[in-house]
Amino acid sequence: MSARGVIAASEPHTALAGARILRRGGNAVDAIVAAKLAATVTELPLTSLAGGGACIWGSAAKGYEIVDFFATTPGRGLQALPTLDFLPITVDFGQAVQVFHIGKAAAAIPGELVGLLHLHQRGGRLPLREIVAPAVNWARTGFLVSPQIAMMAGLIAPILRHSPTVAALFCPLGHVARAGERLANPRLGEFLQALAEGNAEEQLARYWTSLVEHFSPAQGGLITLHDVASYAPVVRQPLSIPFGRYTVLTNPPPSAGGGLVGAGLRLAEDLALGQEEFLSAQHQSAVATVLAGVSAIRQAGYDQRLHSDPESIRKLVSGTIGSAYWNVGQSAGGNENRLGATTHISVIDAEGMAAALTTSNGEGCGHALPELGIHVNNFLGEEDINPAGFHRSPPGSWMSTMMSPTIVVIDQVPCFALGSGGSNRIRSAILQALLNLLAYHRPLDEAVNAPRMHLEGDKLWFEEAGLPTAAANALDQRWPAATRFAAPSMFFGGVNCAARLDGRLSGAGDRRRGGVVVVAED
């Protein structure tokens, strides 16, 4: 048998959809688009066709690019804010509670549907009808809800019961779907089938029309005809970060995460990380020092520069300017989103094409497009991506995100494709996985699933399971108010990594978020 490719994802159906396409002769882009479309059915608390995201893809022959289809701020053409459908919802995480904002005025302009179609047009080769087939099948006939997805749905149950349009998707039996129960979404299946078999432009127009109809100012939302007519995905040049013999390619401004990952790699190289015994007190202290530096950079005006001076971020991660440049301004870090309702897929095919795709629906706004079976995002209601306050950004603004889909190359040939969910912890999760691979040279599964930490300002969170007692105590001594997690936690993200090393395809899924790896073979 020969391998056609490898896919790493956070849910079994998602991974199987991508592997099916690889076996049918599709490339990495075909596989990742098919997997993501399937995820909009089977990972429905985390991603939807009314969410947003970004994908890095390419090969040594084609080069690499980012297709950015994150959300934009609605309200074009409005002279004043209408009466808004916008309200707080409290979510209980056990260790803590958090307030999210939902309602129709929490919905930003979503890019996921048009972004996936654009990505497929740029890099795919199989016809769209084959790409949508797995998603259509599970939407029509149903799928068994995984324990991980059931757990996440249970956390945000107040949102999933908020309106009849969303309750119809998540609670067909009168309660939020549980692990092992069968869930279907026939309207979404019909829409995807029509999109692939009919006039795609006509179906897109139907989608945008439904969005305006249900989320317009007259309905308590902010989405206008001007907004949907103006939206288009943006193709960007990746940030390029040298690290030893590797080059790390990741998401550029206006996204926040890639630059912070790059800054962390620069700091790690300056500190010569990699000599310490892995998981020792010295290793944990060194990584915490890097994370503290990354946090300080973000607190020193970084978020403002994402829009006002993006070129300086490219210079920072390339080593052209030092971190002292950032020692001005005030923090725009926002609050921690403990759920981090984001999901990631990585693919590398046998021909040497790699793709890494991260998407989110936030927690969802509690309202859906009823004719299409699509839960709409609540990006305008998340504090951590609205640090200046709610409904403050000008209409048409591209929203910032911590999403950091990443490809690592040697001489332009991809060796790793990775990314993570996890809100603000995305940057720490990806940075630590990269350091584990590139500086400490750990085996792939260990690099992804080793104990993890996150630092924000003067707050430290860390997983003590798997750490020597001396290492955990050293972190406590340096940060006396540190929060320990007795077991690996989804709080620390969900890194899924595909790899191609010495011609061999492999992968690692993050067990914190149900990670799954499938090698597609003939």
Distance of alpha carbon 401 from alpha carbon 170, whole angstroms: 26
The secondary structure of residue 83, as a DSSP letter, is -
Closest by CA position to 221, among listed 407, 50, 83:
83
- Tokens representing residue 479 in the block: 């940060």
The secondary structure of residue 110, as a DSSP letter, is P
Q: Are strands 459-463 and 483-485 parallel, antiparallel or unpaired?
A: parallel
Residue bearing tokens 């006939």:
141
- Tokens representing residue 177 in the block: 């779907």
Hey, what amino acid is at 311? E
C-beta separation of 10 from 513 below 8 A: yes
Closest by CA position to 206, among listed 184, 233, 230, 188:
188
Residue 261, helix vs strand vs coil: helix
The secondary structure of residue 238, as a DSSP letter, is P
Distance of alpha carbon 181 from alpha carbon 183, whole angstroms: 6
Half-sphere exposure of 308 (CA within 13 A, CB side): 5
DSSP letters spanning 393-435:
SPTTPBPP-----EEEEETTEEEEEEE---TTHHHHHHHHHHH
- Tokens representing residue 185 in the block: 């979404």
Residue 343 to residues 48, 335, 348, 361, 496, Cα–Cα distance (Å): 11, 20, 18, 9, 9
Half-sphere exposure of 161 (CA within 13 A, CB side): 12
Report, as residue numbers or ranges, the catalytic residues.
342
